[in-house]
A = this chain, B = another copy of it.
Amino acid sequence: MGKASAASPRRHPPAAGRTPRSPVPPTRPDITGQTALYGVLGDPVSHSLSPVFWNAGFRALGLDAVYVPFHVPAGRLAEALAGLGALGVRGVNVTLPHKEAAARLCTTLEPPADDLQAVNTIRLGPDGALHGANTDGPAMYRLLTSLWHPVGKGAPLPLAERGYRAALRGGEGGTLPTSSRSVGKGIPAVPPGPVLLLGAGGAARAVLWSLFQAGATVIYWANRTAHRLVCPWSAERTQVRPVPWESQALNEVMVESTLIINATSLGWRAEDRLPVLTAAPGPGQTWLDLVYHPASPLQQAARAAGARVIDGLDLLLGQGAAAFTLLTGHPAPLAAMRRALRRHLAGRSRA
């Protein structure tokens, strides 16, 4: 403890631009009166993994900062956001069910939060201003382009270059984690064929936006309640085709799709099934799942049938890394953050 103090952990704000890795070893400095404060707002928030990998990031960089969970009931978001500024909190992430309401309460919205009308990151200005951003969309966009374009070839930007690109420089070396892991050596890039998107909630909306950004050609879109299938975006090269939530229609488009994206919450529980899909995707197809529960029965079925499965862990890290950079000004130490996350999940499944 005395040692940590004597080692003088870095203070915020950091110097402008890229900062070299700290020589401070990854110890856990004490929280003192000077420790900078970050957190995540949600209801529930108890399931959030963000505190685990954010604090691992602070430790790896030797930053004198801490990231805590704020349990905010739906009706009290405005009070909570006003309180954050008064309490000296530097910045927060926002998770369910607050992402859309937070976008309405922010002072400014940085692209693509305006396009998405959803915010997962808020930077508190010294004047109490709330600067909203969205790193969910860019993280998904990055994952999609890494699937569709081999590493190093570069991905064309089908829509106008936007400010959110800054948020993409979240990771070490300027890349998000998905590019290196999802398209490794010997793994072919997924051809940009038809995509089947399941779900129409806030997460599915960010996926849909990313599919437009990444230049998808055909998007089949299905949801249990069909009236939610309203797409606010349009582009010449991209067709969105609503699909009824019934067995024959869904199975037909599933077989045709090279990429199936599960943006529903199905898969968190061992008993979760998708009875409308009678077959699982097979070889040559990719099952991209926003759920990161390793025992998801949907992911297990896809894997067993020979499909490539990508779970939500890299997306979680991707949005987190971009938010880390946005709020702290430091490149996110991704390796340390991923390590902490995997260790935590392994410990939890043992418990």
Contact = CB atoms under 8 A, between A and B. Distances in A.
A231 interface: no
A114 B310 CA distance: 59
A30 B70 CA distance: 16
A278 interface: no
Interface string A1-31: 1111110100000000000000000001011
Q: This chain: how many copies in the complex? A: 2
Contacts of A344: 1-2, 5, 30, 32
A181 interface: no
Interface residues of A, number: 58
Contacts of A68: 31, 35, 37, 66, 68
Interface stretch (A46-54, A182-190, A193-201, A266-274): A46-54
A206 interface: no
A124 to B, nearest CB: 11
Contacts of A56: 1
Interface in A72-98: 72-73, 76-77, 79-80, 82-89
A227 interface: no
A327 interface: no
A50 B30 CA distance: 11
Given A2-B343, A76-B85, A79-B83, 4 more contacts: A33-B45, A33-B69, A34-B46, A76-B86
